[in-house]
Amino acid sequence: MSAVLRLGVDDLEALFALETAAHPGGWSEEAILVELVHADAVVFGVVDVDVGVVAWCALRLVVDELWVLNIATHPEHRRRGHADRLLRTAATTTSLSAPATSLWLEVREGNVGARALYERHGYVQLGRRPGYYPPLPPATTREAAILMRAPRP
């Protein structure tokens, strides 16, 4: 059994461990902490009663846009709908002080699985940022970011 919960500073160690397992070259502990304490940010996680945090998502309000800054699922808990739950939470969150008119994110161009997930949630590609992401070994060239947007429900 699991639930989507708002996470806080007490969850930093678990989030960093999950991020390290989920993404090569993922967010640092300091970057996660910034989102946990930022006034215009909210962090949600899928918390399994037996395991702890198995997926997480960081959102930040920028003027009237809500940005999905990071979303990650522990490799041992993928393909169970956790990212879907987090994206639905992102679309309906009222945890921030100002209303957002749209949802935004950037994703690696080569991450076709994530792009398909976002498209299922109504995100459409609006742009491409060449050379945005550092290379993932064994690649040696930087990878483009795909800029995607979805309207708020």
Domain span at 48: 2-151
Mean pLDDT of the chain: 94
Tokens of residue 27, six digits: 């967010």
CATH number at residue 114: 3.40.630.30
Q: What's the average model confidence in pLDDT over 56-76? A: 95
| Dist CA 94 CA 90 (whole Å) | 9
Count of structural domains, the chain: 1
Among residues 127, 132, 134, 152, which one has the least CA distance to residue 144?
A: 132
Output helix, strand, coil percentages for the chain, rounded to the nearest 5: 30, 40, 30
State the pLDDT confidence band at 97, using cuts at 50, 70 and 90. low
pLDDT in tens, 129-151: 999 999 988 889 999 999 999 98
pLDDT digits 0-9 by tens, 70-89: 999 999 999 999 999 999 99
Give 27-37 pLDDT, tens digit per residue.
999 999 999 99
Could you tell me where the beta strands, DSSP code E, fall in the chain? Answer: 2-6, 41-48, 52-62, 65-73, 102-108, 124-133, 143-151
